[in-house]
Amino acid sequence: MILPADPKRNYLAHKAEIDEAVHRVMDGGWYILGEEVAEFEREFAAYLGLAHGIGVGSGTEAVQLALRACGVGPGDFVITVSHTAVATVAAIELAGAAPILVDVDRETFTMSVPAIEAALNTHGRRVKAIVPVHLYGHPADIVNIVAAAAEHNVFVVEDCAQSHGAAFGGQKTGTFGQIAAFSFYPTKNLGALGDGGAIVTNDSGLAERAKLLRQYGWRTRYISETAGLNSRLDEMQAAILRVKLRYLDDENRRRRHIASRYEQAFSSTTLRLPVTKPQASHVFHQFTVRSDRRDSLQALLKEAGVGAAILYPQPVHLQQAYWDRVQTCGGMENTEQQAREILSIPIHPDLTGEEVECVIDAVRRSA
């Protein structure tokens, strides 16, 4: 089976360096918030062109803590999308705020700026932050999102869980808003061998608050200045991420190469292919197509040995756990239509040329 993502193969591609990094941590005997975490924080922030990186336990906690660093809490509204991993919405609730879900753009699957503006005008001063999701590796319309947020004096907390290395106008995602959150779940473009996340910002005050919040509000050990939690990127994962960060741009180029091959090969099919907007640099965390006969296509691909995933099969606002917990603002037509049609074709940097051709052949025969 050709899988949508294969973290084990990615580990094997860098095995010698990763094993050396792991042994360095084991031999050093310092396993929590040590030199590896500090170095990764510095290197990752520098990669993005930012001043501060704060390693945390997961991408969900990165969003939660970034919001809390901005002062978001009970009584506040936070605007985000329903077409996302539920983690985005869960993180808003973990921060104590209420999610307001809006529709997405018809082509890019990312937050609709007119929908944001409608939500800001409807809910006014209760909106404290916007969380745009750079879904599937394509940047959201971030310049216009930041402009809309500035008009209403609200924070922009970028959810970059799927956009490591993506850019708009040459500027990387995670650097447009006041603060941003990344996930290092193993299947991400930059993935650890376990859970992990990071918060990044240029604002020293936000960085300081995030650092306090990730470890019980401690500045001095055992003395809590504020109510925080335990959300720490461990030394082992930081050491692994330091190795893999060196290969991120090359692996993103490989993803783009495969995507280009797919686009060429599928142009004559009935599939609606991913769109890359002008000035956007897509990193193809997923290669997500749309089809009116999505379910049968997925079944045919499975029979051909090609794993294709539905990310995400049900918008958050239609999930049972959230029926009475979230509000929507405006219509959700694009979100709901896309959920019925989307299918993600295998794309990751460790696919061989032969495997890419197998995927192409299976899709052409099935679409």
Confidence of residue 21 (pLDDT cuts 50, 70, 90): very high
For residue 350, what pLDDT is reported? 97
96 in a domain, yes or no? yes
For residue 140, what pLDDT is reported? 98
DSSP one-letter string for 287-330: EEEE-TTHHHHHHHHHHTTB--B-S-SS-GGGSGGGTTT-EE-S
Residue 326 and residue 190 share a domain: no
Residue 301 and residue 235 share a domain: no
Residue after which a domain boundary falls, among 210, 245, 280: 245
Residue 283 and residue 161 share a domain: no
227 in a domain, yes or no? yes
Residue 253 and residue 175 share a domain: no
Number of Cα atoms under 13 Å in the Cβ half of residue 202: 9
pLDDT in tens, 26-49: 999 999 999 999 999 999 999 999
Residue 240 and residue 264 share a domain: no
Residue 140 and residue 35 share a domain: yes
Average pLDDT (325-342) is 97
Residue 143 and residue 60 share a domain: yes
Average pLDDT (76-80) is 98
DSSP 133: B
* List of residues 6+ apart from 257 with CB closer than 8 A: none
2 in a domain, yes or no? no
Helix (H, G, I), strand (E, B) or coil at 237: helix
Residue 285 and residue 237 share a domain: no
For residue 243, what pLDDT is reported? 98
Average pLDDT (80-88) is 98
285 in a domain, yes or no? yes
For residue 24, what pLDDT is reported? 97
pLDDT in tens, 287-311: 999 999 999 999 999 999 999 999 9
pLDDT in tens, 96-120: 999 999 999 999 999 999 999 999 9
Residue found by looking up tokens 């329903």 in the block: 82
pLDDT in tens, 209-254: 999 999 999 999 999 999 999 999 999 999 999 999 999 999 999 9
What is the domain-level CATH number for residue 304?
A: 3.90.1150.10
114 in a domain, yes or no? yes
Residue 252 and residue 209 share a domain: no
Helix (H, G, I), strand (E, B) or coil at 284: coil
Average pLDDT (74-103) is 98
Model-wide pTM > 0.85 = yes
Strands of 127-130's sheet in order across: 52-56, 197-201, 179-183, 155-159, 127-130, 77-81, 98-102, 327-328
Residue 184 and residue 169 share a domain: yes
What is the domain-level CATH number for residue 149?
A: 3.40.640.10
Percent of the chain whose predicted confidence (pLDDT) is above 90 = 100
54 and 207 in contact (C-beta within 8 Å)? yes
Residue after which a domain boundary falls, among 245, 262, 284: 245
| Residue 216 structural domain | 7-103+110-245
276 and 138 in contact (C-beta within 8 Å)? yes
Crossing angle for the helix pair 113-123 and 142-151, nearest 10 degrees?
Answer: 20
Question: What is the spatial distance between Cα 10 and Cα 143, in angstroms, rounded to a whole number?
Answer: 33
70 in a domain, yes or no? yes
Question: What is the spatial distance between Cα 239 and Cα 284, in angstroms, rounded to a whole number?
Answer: 25
For residue 93, what pLDDT is reported? 98
pLDDT in tens, 183-197: 999 999 999 999 999
Average pLDDT (309-315) is 97
Alpha-helix runs per DSSP H in the chain: 7-13, 15-28, 35-48, 59-69, 86-94, 113-123, 142-151, 204-214, 235-245, 248-266, 294-303, 333-341, 353-366
pLDDT in tens, 108-159: 999 999 999 999 999 989 999 999 999 999 999 999 999 999 999 999 999 9
DSSP one-letter string for 10-34: HHHHTHHHHHHHHHHHHHHT--BSS
Give whole-number Cα distances, 57 to 49, 195, 209, 311, in Å.
22, 6, 16, 23
For residue 52, what pLDDT is reported? 98
1 in a domain, yes or no? no
Residue after which a domain boundary falls, among 245, 262, 288: 245
* List of residues 6+ apart from 230 with CB closer than 8 A: 57, 214, 215, 216
For residue 131, what pLDDT is reported? 99
Q: How many domains does the chain have?
A: 2
For residue 335, what pLDDT is reported? 98
Residue 86 and residue 59 share a domain: yes
Confidence of residue 361 (pLDDT cuts 50, 70, 90): very high
Tell me the average pLDDT of the chain.
Answer: 97
For residue 23, what pLDDT is reported? 97
Residue 147 and residue 84 share a domain: yes
Confidence of residue 161 (pLDDT cuts 50, 70, 90): very high
For residue 302, what pLDDT is reported? 98
Give whole-number Cα distances, 199 to 52, 188, 238, 281, 337, in Å.
8, 16, 14, 21, 32
- Rg of the chain, C-alpha, whole Å: 20
